[in-house]
Structure 1
Amino acid sequence: MRQFGLIGKKLSHSFSAGYFNTKFKNEGLTDHYYALYEISSIEEIIRIFGIPHLAGLNVTIPYKQEIIPFLADLDSSAKKVGAVNVVKMSPRGPVGYNSDYYGFQQSLMSWLGNKSIEKALILGTGGAAKAVLAALEDLNIAATSVSRNPAPGQLGYSDLNAEHIREYKLIVNTTPLGMYPEVEIFPDIPYEYLDQDNFLYDLIYNPETTAFMKMGAEKGARVKNGLEMLHLQAERSWEIWNS
């Protein structure tokens, strides 16, 4: 028996259990199972780590950074990003990895093709945002984070103006704003200044077209959701668990 799962605070929107259990069935892995573990605080991870036959976990909002002190070690991918979305159970204890970085970078490169992007805005500053920031840095795209409570070097939402929208052609939403079931919510950016030169990438995949994407598309911007990234990071998770 090999047990896998996803930990997070609210998981009703998650595709992971269906994705992996279908994968196990298709590959004839009858002794593999993937479950959802909703936990109200990160301290509950100790109980999750004690589940019999646990081989690996995925980690989602809001625990990608909070889980780090509970791990025995971090892989270079997690150290680079500063956040964990994959945990592999090893003889020395749970080890943290990051596959969000890989999934986002591969998906973005495929989407942009030969289009040259010099600057990007990252909406949000959580664990997923850290993976996006690391991926953009490695692609030589200068990224600036946008936060409700901006730290030095970051922008606040109220700071954004027409000049920012013209200068930062790529805008990546890493926040949960607009995620099912609250599908009418969207990040507070000046959509009126968007045009066909802008690219809006939303890490959300449920709904398929978020309010953020709709408002961008109405102005001619090219838009993409996070489903491809999710598939890529899920397959990378599987590789990690079996390495």
Structure 2
Amino acid sequence: MSQKRYGLLGRGISYSYSPEIHAKIFSENGIDATYSILDLTESAIPDIIRELREGRIHGINVTIPYKQIIMEYLDEIDSLTIKIGAINTVSVKNGRLIGHNTDYNGFLETVKTMGLDCNGKTAVILGTGGSAAACVRVLQELGAKVILISRTPKDIKRIFLKEDVRSYEDLKDIKGYLIVNATPIGGKNSIDQSPVSKEIVENFENAIDLIYNPEVTKFLSYSKNGKNGKEMLTKQALATEEIWQERKLGV
């Protein structure tokens, strides 16, 4: 059997740890495969879709800014992913492209590892992209009172129809149990920035930053009990590989 080829589709993603994580999964589970960064413009997506359909690429992860855009190219989307409204994984089965969301798995495991009990408590999510959508679903299922923060709340309410969407200006009046940074602010391209001030973060008992590089962002440095997105990345990678390989794996 020839070596399989997988990759991460996104833009401005050279910082990603995904190739190393997937390489470790391949090595520890006897999988003959490669995983590469597909840092491409939106105009290149049809070419990637063609390679998937032709069997030259066997599966992809999808990240910023294509987690919602990619959905229009797929033949099928699993039930959980339909509820979330964004995908981060594409598998190929009998020539059909299927969308999945393993960010859900990764974020849920992160919350569990921190020992958080979100039931009945206020959780704020900064950002309204694909990763934020997965976080919303997890926290709602854990019983949290979820508030989404957007720079354009009126526009976003057309997408998140049932969610409580507010502006960054409203944040100064909110205190809660958990605040999640699901924006790219504070990552490798804006390392000296935080999406919100120290005073805002201190209004919450716990913080999660989905960014994992750098490991301690400015946002996380403001929190007394914070965690970065590295575990989320690792857990979603394992869940992704189990979809692609169609079996349970270890790491």
Question: Could you tell me the TM-score, scaled by structure 2's length?
Answer: 0.87
Greater shift in the superposed pair: 175-184 or 125-134: 175-184
2:165 maps to which of 154, 174, 184: 154
Mapped pair 1:12 → 2:20: no
**Aligned-residue offset at 1:128:** 0.3
Alignment match, 1:22: 24
Larger RCO: Structure 1 or Structure 2 (Cα < 8 Å, ≥ 6 residues apart)? Answer: 2
CA distance 1:196–1:70, shift in 2 (3 Å): closer
Offset from partner CA, 1:31-50 (integer Å, 9 cap, x none): 31111111111x42221133
Offset from partner CA, 1:163-188 (integer Å, 9 cap, x none): 40x2x220000000000142111112
CA distance 1:22–1:193, shift in 2 (3 Å): closer
Percent identity between matched residues is: 35
Alignment match, 1:208: 215
Task: Give matches, 1:111-150, under 5 Å.
Answer: 111-113=114-116, 118-150=121-153
**Aligned-residue offset at 1:53:** 3.3
CA distance 1:192–1:67, shift in 2 (3 Å): same
Distance 2:118 2:139 in 1: 14
Aligned length: 233
Structure 2 gaps, min length 5: 158-163, 247-251
Offset from partner CA, 1:5-40 (integer Å, 9 cap, x none): 0000111111111211233234343x3111111111
Contact kept, 8 Å, 1:72 with 1:94, in 2: the verdict is: yes
Mapped pair 1:174 → 2:182: yes
CA distance 1:237–1:194, shift in 2 (3 Å): closer
Contact kept, 8 Å, 1:144 with 1:155, in 2: the verdict is: yes
Structure 1 gaps, min length 5: none
Contact kept, 8 Å, 1:196 with 1:222, in 2: the verdict is: no
State the secondary structure of the residue aligned to 2:147.
strand
Q: 1:49 is aligned with what amino acid?
A: I
Contact kept, 8 Å, 1:117 with 1:169, in 2: the verdict is: no
Question: Cα RMSD between the aligned structures?
Answer: 1.8
**Aligned-residue offset at 1:193:** 5.4
Question: Could you tell me the TM-score, scaled by structure 1's length?
Answer: 0.89
